[in-house]
Structure 1
Amino acid sequence: MAARLRPDVTLTPTDDGAVVLDERSGRYFQLNRTGLLILQSLLAGRTADEIAADLSGRFPVTAARARSDVDRLHESLRTAGLVTG
């Protein structure tokens, strides 16, 4: 499930997560800290299962729920045209 930011997308960390700018459209997207952690993990080539295990170890959430959240965020980022893969 390796992902890459599209060349015209900028990721800028903030105090409480990150802002993602789609330079083609000028649209901004905001990620909270968990969303940023998921995105950075996807960009690093980690699998959804690995990310879910990490999240369920850090937060009071089941691995199944964490996996669903990872999949939903990844799909949202792809649908918005921010990442490939």
Structure 2
Amino acid sequence: MAQVFRLSGDIARTATEYGEVLLDERRGRYFRLSRTAAVIVGLLEDGGDVPGTARELHERYGIAEDRARADIAGLLARLRDLGLVAS
């Protein structure tokens, strides 16, 4: 079964005039997402999976799917390390 992507309980995704951020309401910190990271988080939060998100990145930006999967894995690892996503 595919792992479901979910932001941790105190994390809110929000748009600002500078782009999308993840706001850690507990620690009072925010993390700015690149445009591509915002797309990835949005697709996964809407129920997408890694292979489907990689295909979407390929279609939108011409990124090779294997490279997109690696980039997604790296982003997810970083978000987990920061405590921003539920495990």
Relative to the length of structure 2, the TM-score reads 0.85
CA distance in structure 2 between the partners assigned to 1:76 and 1:60 by the alignment: 24
Partner of 2:14: 12
Moved over 6 A (4+): none
Q: Which has the higher strand share?
A: 1
Q: Report matched runs for 1:68-79 at 5 Å.
A: 68-79=70-81
The alignment's C-alpha RMSD in Å is 1.5
Relative to the length of structure 1, the TM-score reads 0.87
**Alignment CA distance shift 1:66-1:16 (3 Å):** farther
Aligned residues: 85
Q: Which runs of 5+ in 1 are unaligned?
A: none
CA distance in structure 2 between the partners assigned to 1:64 and 1:14 by the alignment: 31
**By how many angstroms is 1:17 displaced?**
3.3
Q: Which runs of 5+ in 2 are unaligned?
A: none
Using the aligned pairs only, state the percent identity.
40
CA shift digits 1:18-68 (9 cap, x unpaired): 111112222210002211110011112211010001101111310011111
